[in-house]
């Protein structure tokens, strides 16, 4: 499984060097990667359906309990098949949709990276490695959403998506660390038996809140939903892949995976039901006011994600079965509708539902796919959407005292989603063909074949639900800690209340579709309430924060190094001084100190004279030379105290610094007096106060008993464990190797950033 995950990353790196070969007809060969992965995961269907759980373990950072452990069960298998299966169709579609694009190879690189990150996310058993892949999906999706980087709106949408999901990523990391500290492991498989202990822990509510923060931001739950409609600025393959089957369902996956660990608790269930219900109804209502096809699909996607959270919150076998089926249903019909929207936009140049109609006459195969997808989204037999809708109604109808309320909410949502599905999948193809679209041509079969395949899947799985019952649905429900043996999917369950609710939904939704037409007037009306929306609130908060931070920065970072140093010293003196004078106990035995030798006194005297000369001289070169003397005096002290390595380091740095300063200052004009006596007095007082604080700190340290446990350990093990005789070097390279590597990485990233800024050439319109 590790190699399957790394394949996508490897292909992305491969494209860096061979990308020019994937910009023409050969670009379709990129689809071989997800196809091969789909075949690889498909071979496990039989074993997983028999109840087997396949695990792999690779040691990574065992000292911290962080390892690359992978689990393939019913839940991860379903997501892996969706990621690779729909990924294959998206890769094929992209070869025609972005044909001739100068950055097609780059797009495939981002897409492959995202696919690999999603596979790593759904297969990871270790929470920390899951977090790493979680963040990689956010980063790669940032590049995909902002692919049209010449567009200001695309860049803005990408940043908003990254910011929202990035906050969720931090929430996931903190929640994972809390879980690991409570359970003693980061392995999800090992946590499965610890539900009672976790639920009784005083930090349970905090942990669940953090996990919810991650899931809700990633899966666009209210009030974090607004990043998803903005992400529609991305090319259609991105919208299809990220917002139908993969990224937005990462949060759903996280909730399902952790249901056996954190679920079966009132706070878990109630919160998910409430948030899911608000999200699904709120977003479904928004579909009534959108005239852009992608806007309709975006809000209907958010609503569908709300339904999934709503079902997970119920936690029953019926609800989780409905959720498992609905994940398949939504992936099939929503991917179809997104791909169709891309075809319409690509061939007609518009996504405006108020002008699109009659396209069946010029895009007949696309129209067939649209009709089938719309029927499945509406839950009309014999599509798989009908089975999903029936199961959803079944779960809410038998949910105790809240049955009527929950059923009413889901029925309203389904009515509105039927309307949205008809607007996206049927309206553009019915009616008379406008004159402006008469010359519309059929696209390449590489574009219309993928949505047709997905649409046929909506029909085939509806007629033959047994194809997914034992292979996908039962194992998925079982992987969430419930017994899925008695699950039976049928197209017709007899004449009952559930069927009546389905008929009512279809009837009212159809009436709504024929009576309410998308108009700009409705869209303008709902825009009046935009100032109360979560997006506006967050945007205004960001604007306020930016204004405040800008003022704060200008106050303290005004371009004068003197002020920066003074500010740092004042805060250090205040905080450290307060702590010292309220808690310090200077029980220092001065008699235990060794007597001051002649060499120490002479060196200190030279240092003091050099300091005085540096402060009062009017020559830059003399000041630099005096500072060099101070540095060399410190080197001598290091030698006296048996630290030759530090002395050599200090000697090298001081020599280099003096030379560089002399070379720079030699060409500058004569010494200028840039401060008056008041500023010098202030600086002198600050310097004396700071020196006093440092002296007191040293005395405080000397008063503490010496603990040589750490230094003794390094001295004893430097050669044995790291085969190095220089203890300092061994500490930096081996014992603190990860820290040193991160420091080097930070420097490398900073260097890349500086290089990019040096090369940046912005238009005046893009400058800020």
Q: Which of 681, 701, 716 is the last residue of a domain?
A: 716
Is 690 in contact with 572 (CB distance < 8 Å)? yes
**What span, in angstroms and rounded, lies between the C-alpha atoms of 219 and 64?**
29
HEC profile of 305-332: HHHHHHHHHHCCHHHHHHHHHHHHHHHH
Phi, psi of 52, deg, nearest 5: -80, 145
> What pLDDT does 723 receive?
82
CATH number at residue 631: 1.20.120
For 38-74, b/e burial (b = at least 16 CB within 10 A) is beebeebbeebbeeeeeeeeeeeeeeeebbbbbbbbb
Domain that holds residue 693: 559-716
Angle at 530 between CA 526 and CA 535, to 5 degrees: 135
> What pLDDT does 766 receive?
56
Average pLDDT over residues 418-434: 92
Instruction: Give the distance from CA 366 to its chain's centroid.
Output: 34
**What span, in angstroms and rounded, lies between the C-alpha atoms of 258 and 275?**
17
Average pLDDT over residues 467-480: 90
**What span, in angstroms and rounded, lies between the C-alpha atoms of 250 and 247?**
5
> What pLDDT does 337 receive?
94
Q: Are residues 463 and 565 in the same domain?
A: no
Helix 74-97 vs helix 445-463: crossing angle, to nearest 10: 150
In the chain, the largest separation of any two C-alpha atoms, in whole Å, equals 106
**What span, in angstroms and rounded, lies between the C-alpha atoms of 280 and 727?**
61
Determine which of 16-20, 44-48, 210-214, 374-378 has the lowest per-residue pLDDT on average: 16-20
Average pLDDT over residues 88-116: 91
The tokens for 723 are 């085969």
Average pLDDT over residues 370-384: 93
The tokens for 406 are 């929950």
Q: Does the residue 37 lie in any domain?
A: no
Please check the confidence at residue 702 and state whether its pLDDT lies above 80. no
Look at 645 and 133; give whichever has higher pLDDT. Answer: 133
Q: Does the residue 83 lie in any domain?
A: no
Q: Are residues 587 and 670 in the same domain?
A: yes
Percent of the chain with pLDDT over 90: 44
Pseudo-torsion of CA 307, 309, 313, 319, nearest 10°?
Answer: 50
**What span, in angstroms and rounded, lies between the C-alpha atoms of 473 and 484?**
8
Q: Which of 716, 739, 755 is the last residue of a domain?
A: 716
Distances (CA, A) of 753 to 144, 672, 743, 749, 757: 20, 35, 15, 6, 6
Q: Are residues 712 and 722 in the same domain?
A: no
Residues 6+ apart with CB under 8 A from 128: 64, 65, 66, 173, 176, 180, 186
**What span, in angstroms and rounded, lies between the C-alpha atoms of 684 and 689?**
9
Average pLDDT over residues 70-91: 93
The tokens for 568 are 């740092």
> What pLDDT does 386 receive?
93
pTM above 0.75, yes or no: yes
Please state whether the peptide bond connecting residue 498 to the residue before it is cis, i.e. omega within 30 degrees of 0: no
> What pLDDT does 364 receive?
92
Look at 299 and 673; give whichever has higher pLDDT. Answer: 299
Please check the confidence at residue 758 and state whether its pLDDT lies above 80. no
Within 184-292, residue ranges assigned H as helices are 188-191, 195-199, 204-218, 227-230, 236-240, 247-262, 266-286
Q: Are residues 573 and 709 in the same domain?
A: yes
SS3 of residue 234 by DSSP = coil
Q: Does the residue 762 lie in any domain?
A: yes
The tokens for 10 are 């490897």
Q: Are residues 468 and 575 in the same domain?
A: no
> What pLDDT does 423 receive?
93
Q: Does the residue 480 lie in any domain?
A: yes
> DSSP secondary-structure letter at 731?
I
Determine which of 412-416, 711-715, 734-738 has the lowest per-residue pLDDT on average: 734-738
Instruction: Tell me which residue has tokens 């990633």.
Output: 218
Q: What total number of domains does the chain contain?
A: 3
Q: Are residues 619 and 739 in the same domain?
A: no
Please check the confidence at residue 419 and state whether its pLDDT lies above 90. yes
> What pLDDT does 586 receive?
59
> What pLDDT does 762 receive?
62
Q: Does the residue 21 lie in any domain?
A: no
Q: Are residues 464 and 570 in the same domain?
A: no
Please state whether the peptide bond connecting residue 382 to the residue before it is cis, i.e. omega within 30 degrees of 0: yes
Q: Does the residue 115 lie in any domain?
A: no
> What pLDDT does 587 receive?
63
Determine which of 294-298, 368-372, 448-452, 545-549 has the lowest per-residue pLDDT on average: 545-549
**What span, in angstroms and rounded, lies between the C-alpha atoms of 688 and 678?**
15
> Which residue, among 128, 12, 157, has the nearest Cα to 60 in the 3D structure?
128
> What pLDDT does 117 receive?
94
**What span, in angstroms and rounded, lies between the C-alpha atoms of 348 and 278?**
36
Q: Does the residue 483 lie in any domain?
A: yes
Helix 317-348 vs helix 74-97: crossing angle, to nearest 10: 0
Q: For the segment 230-267, what is each residue's pLDDT rounded down to a tens digit?
A: 888 888 899 888 877 788 899 999 999 999 999 888 99
The tokens for 75 are 């839940």
Average pLDDT over residues 592-620: 85
Q: How high does pLDDT run on average in the chain?
A: 87
Reported residue count of the chain is: 768
Average pLDDT over residues 541-558: 82
Q: For the segment 143-155, what is each residue's pLDDT rounded down to a tens digit?
A: 999 888 888 888 8
> Which residue, among 156, 160, 79, 66, has the nearest Cα to 120 in the 3D structure?
79
**What span, in angstroms and rounded, lies between the C-alpha atoms of 322 and 327?**
9
> What pLDDT does 458 receive?
93
Half-sphere exposure of 145 (CA within 13 A, CB side): 28
Instruction: Tell me which residue has tokens 């396949």.
Output: 54
**What span, in angstroms and rounded, lies between the C-alpha atoms of 140 and 137?**
5
> What pLDDT does 671 receive?
62
pLDDT band with cut points at 50, 70 and 90 for residue 584? low
Q: Which of 485, 513, 531 is the last residue of a domain?
A: 531
Please check the confidence at residue 767 and state whether its pLDDT lies above 60. no
CA dihedral sign of residues 235, 238, 241, 243: negative
Please check the confidence at residue 436 and state whether its pLDDT lies above 70. yes
pLDDT band with cut points at 50, 70 and 90 for residue 99? confident
Q: For the segment 181-223, what is each residue's pLDDT rounded down to a tens digit?
A: 999 899 998 998 888 889 889 999 999 999 999 999 999 898 8
> What pLDDT does 120 receive?
93
> What pLDDT does 518 receive?
82
> What pLDDT does 68 receive?
87
Angle at 627 between CA 622 and CA 631, to 5 degrees: 145
Q: Are residues 192 and 230 in the same domain?
A: yes
Q: Does the residue 730 lie in any domain?
A: yes
Look at 341 and 708; give whichever has higher pLDDT. Answer: 341
> DSSP secondary-structure letter at 187?
B
Helix or strand (DSSP H, E) at 754: helix 737-759
> What pLDDT does 705 receive?
74
Neighbours of 89 (CB within 10 A): 26
Average pLDDT over residues 625-634: 90
Q: Please report the DSSP string for 576-604 in residue order.
A: HHHHHHHH------GGGSPPPPHHHHHHH
Average pLDDT over residues 738-762: 82
pLDDT band with cut points at 50, 70 and 90 for residue 496? confident
Residues 6+ apart with CB under 8 A from 493: 390, 499
Q: Are residues 659 and 733 in the same domain?
A: no
> What pLDDT does 670 receive?
66
Q: Are residues 518 and 573 in the same domain?
A: no
Q: Are residues 246 and 377 in the same domain?
A: yes
**What span, in angstroms and rounded, lies between the C-alpha atoms of 12 and 17?**
10
Is 524 in contact with 535 (CB distance < 8 Å)? no
Q: Are residues 336 and 230 in the same domain?
A: yes
> What pLDDT does 309 receive?
95
Please check the confidence at residue 24 and state whether its pLDDT lies above 80. no
**What span, in angstroms and rounded, lies between the C-alpha atoms of 167 and 261?**
23
């Amino acid at each position: 499984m590790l190699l399957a995950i790394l394949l996508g990353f490897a292909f992305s790196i491969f494209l860096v060097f061979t990308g020019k070969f994937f910009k023409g007809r050969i670009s379709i060969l990129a689809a071989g990667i997800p196809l091969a992965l789909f075949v690889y995961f498909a071979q496990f269907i039989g074993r997983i359906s028999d109840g087997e759980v396949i695990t792999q373990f690779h040691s990574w950072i065992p000292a911290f309990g962080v390892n690359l452990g992978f689990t393939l069960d019913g839940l991860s298998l379903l997501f892996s098949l969706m990621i690779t299966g729909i990924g294959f169709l998206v890769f094929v579609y992209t070869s025609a949709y972005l044909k001739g694009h100068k950055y097609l190879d780059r797009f495939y690189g981002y897409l492959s990276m995202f696919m690999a990150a999603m596979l790593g996310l759904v297969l990871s058993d270790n929470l920390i490695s899951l977090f790493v892949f979680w963040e990689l999906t956010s980063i790669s999706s940032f590049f995909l959403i902002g692919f049209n980087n010449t567009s200001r709106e695309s860049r803005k949408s990408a940043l908003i998506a990254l910011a929202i999901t990035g906050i969720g990523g931090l929430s996931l990391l903190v929640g994972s660390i809390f879980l690991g500290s409570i359970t003693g492991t980061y392995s999800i498989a090992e946590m499965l038996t610890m539900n009672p202990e976790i639920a009784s822990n005083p930090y349970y509510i905090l942990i669940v809140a953090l996990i919810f923060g991650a899931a809700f931001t990633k899966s666009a739950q209210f009030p974090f939903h607004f990043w998803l409609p903005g992400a529609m600025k991305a090319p259609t393959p991105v919208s299809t892949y990220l917002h139908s089957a993969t990224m937005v369902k990462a949060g759903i996956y996280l909730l399902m995976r952790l249901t056996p660990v954190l679920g079966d608790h009132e706070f878990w269930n109630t919160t998910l039901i409430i948030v899911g219900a608000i999200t699904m109804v709120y977003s479904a209502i928004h579909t009534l006011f959108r005239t852009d096809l992608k806007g309709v699909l975006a809000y209907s996607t958010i609503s569908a994600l709300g339904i999934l959270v709503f079902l997970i919150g119920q936690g029953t076998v019926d609800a989780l079965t409905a959720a498992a089926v609905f994940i398949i249903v939504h992936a099939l019909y929503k991917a179809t509708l997104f791909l169709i929207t891309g075809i319409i936009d690509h061939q007609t140049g518009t996504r405006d539902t108020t002008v699109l109609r009659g396209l069946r006459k010029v895009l007949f195969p696309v129209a067939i796919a649209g009709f089938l997808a719309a029927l499945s989204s509406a839950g009309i037999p014999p599509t798989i959407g009908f089975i999903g809708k029936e199961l959803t109604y079944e779960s809410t109808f038998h949910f105790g005292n809240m049955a009527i309320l929950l059923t009413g909410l889901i029925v309203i949502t389904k009515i509105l989603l039927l309307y949205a599905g008809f607007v996206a999948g049927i309206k553009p193809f019915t009616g008379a063909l406008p004159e402006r679209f008469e010359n519309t041509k059929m696209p390449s079969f590489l574009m219309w074949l993928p949505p047709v395949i997905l649409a046929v899947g909506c029909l085939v799985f509806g007629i033959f639900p047994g194809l997914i019952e034992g292979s996908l649905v039962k194992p998925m429900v079982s992987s969430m800690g419930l017994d899925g043996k008695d699950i039976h999917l049928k197209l017709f369950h007899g004449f009952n209340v559930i069927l009546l609710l389905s008929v009512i939904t279809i009837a009212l939704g159809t009436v709504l579709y024929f009576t309410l037409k998308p108009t700009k007037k409705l869209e303008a009306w709902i825009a009046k309430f935009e100032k109360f929306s979560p997006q506006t609130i967050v945007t205004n908060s960001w604007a306020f924060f930016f204004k405040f931070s800008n003022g704060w920065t200008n106050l303290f970072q005004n371009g004068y190094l003197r002020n920066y140093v003074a500010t740092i010293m004042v805060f250090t003196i205040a905080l450290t001084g307060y702590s010292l004078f309220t808690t310090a106990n200077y029980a220092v035995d001065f008699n235990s100190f060794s007597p001051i030798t002649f060499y120490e006194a002479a060196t200190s005297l030279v240092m003091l004279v050099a300091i005085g000369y540096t402060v009062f001289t009017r020559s830059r070169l003399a000041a630099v030379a005096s500072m060099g003397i101070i540095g060399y005096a410190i080197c001598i002290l290091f030698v006296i105290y048996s630290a030759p390595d530090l002395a050599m380091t200090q000697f090298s740095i001081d020599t280099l610094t003096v030379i560089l300063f002399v070379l720079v200052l030699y060409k500058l004009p004569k010494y200028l007096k840039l401060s008056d006596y008041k500023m010098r007095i202030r600086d002198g007082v600050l310097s004396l106060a700071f020196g006093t604080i440092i002296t007191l700190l040293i005395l405080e340290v000397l008063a503490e008993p010496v603990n040589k446990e750490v230094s003794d350990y390094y001295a004893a093990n430097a050669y044995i464990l790291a085969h190095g005789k220089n203890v300092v070097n061994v500490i930096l390279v081996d014992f603190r190797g990860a820290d040193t590597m991160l420091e080097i990485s930070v420097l490398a990233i900073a260097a890349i950033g500086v290089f990019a800024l040096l090369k940046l050439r912005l238009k005046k319109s893009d400058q800020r």
